[in-house]
Structure 1
Amino acid sequence: MEKYVLLIAALYGALGIIFGAFGAHALKKILSEELLKSFETGVKYQMYHAIVLLVIGFQFPFVDTIEKSAAWCLIIGTFLFSFSIYGLCISSAKGKKLKFLGPITPLGGLLLVIGWILLGVSFLNNL
């Protein structure tokens, strides 16, 4: 599991840089200030969680279900949260807002919160 977490962390990190540059340069011309801020929020959360996944990928042995669950919640939560924001922002700028993505963003956020809570529980269990 460690290799998968590290691979996904690297992928999220690389895509975060790409999407950040894309937002700062290409999308700056077509997104409103509000949509650009939303897009940047997606990039920030993606990068934060790429770093967290990198750290836990190196630190966790992934023998406990709680460690695996925390990693999966962070992986899936990041994808749902950040990528739904990207989709909403870009589709809104093109005048064809993909409204079905709206409920996906908070679901991703909830998974991120659960992932952080599970990390805390894992740390407490290892005291």
Structure 2
Amino acid sequence: MKLFIIAGAINGFLAVAFGAFGAHALKEKLSEKYLAIWETAVQYQMFHALALIAIGILMSSKILGPVSSLNTAGYLILAGIILFSGSLYVLSLTGIGILGAITPIGGVAFLVGWIMIIVAAAKFAS
């Protein structure tokens, strides 16, 4: 529970920092293509940082409780941030195209994480 709130806050902080870094330090160094990729990584990191905080709150409240599906969702979303956003950050900085093959794995982790939130809510409703 606490882990996901802390992980969400750290990732929110990093998304703001990386966003500012991209807008200021990288603006003149990266092509438009790679700057857009950087911005996508920042956006997805922030969206999913908020999801991690929500999962932590849901687990610690009486809304859904500490459902194991929420735990799985939290770890999948955290993995998604690392694989999706992380691979896009490195791709932007290095131009190594093969890193783009890792990004969809992170995207799938995001999708399955969101499905696990649905599963948790469906379990609670029954």
Please report the TM-score for the alignment, with normalisation by the length of structure 2.
0.90
Shift of 1:91: 0.5
Asked whether the 8 Å contact 1:87–1:98 carries over to 2, the reply is no
Written as runs of structure 1 = structure 2, the 5 A alignment for 1:48-63 is 48-61=47-60, 63=66
Matched, 1:74 2:74: no
Tell me how far apart the structure 2 counterparts of residues 111 and 41 of structure 1 sit (CA, whole Å).
Answer: 16
Asked whether the 8 Å contact 2:59–2:67 carries over to 1, the reply is no
Residue deviations 1:91-121 (CA, integer Å, cap 9, x gap): 12xxxx263x222111000000000011111
Query: 2:31 — aligned with what?
Result: 32
The 10-residue stretch of structure 1 (55-64 or 80-89) with the greater mean CA deviation from structure 2: 55-64
Please report the TM-score for the alignment, with normalisation by the length of structure 1.
0.89
Gaps of 5+ in 2: none
Tell me how far apart the structure 2 counterparts of residues 67 and 116 of structure 1 sit (CA, whole Å).
Answer: 9
Query: 1:102 — aligned with what?
Result: 100
Matched, 1:125 2:119: no
Residue-pair matches, total: 121
User: What is the identity percentage for the equivalent residue pairs of Structure 1 and Structure 2?
Assistant: 40
Gaps of 5+ in 1: none
Tell me how far apart the structure 2 counterparts of residues 22 and 126 of structure 1 sit (CA, whole Å).
Answer: 42
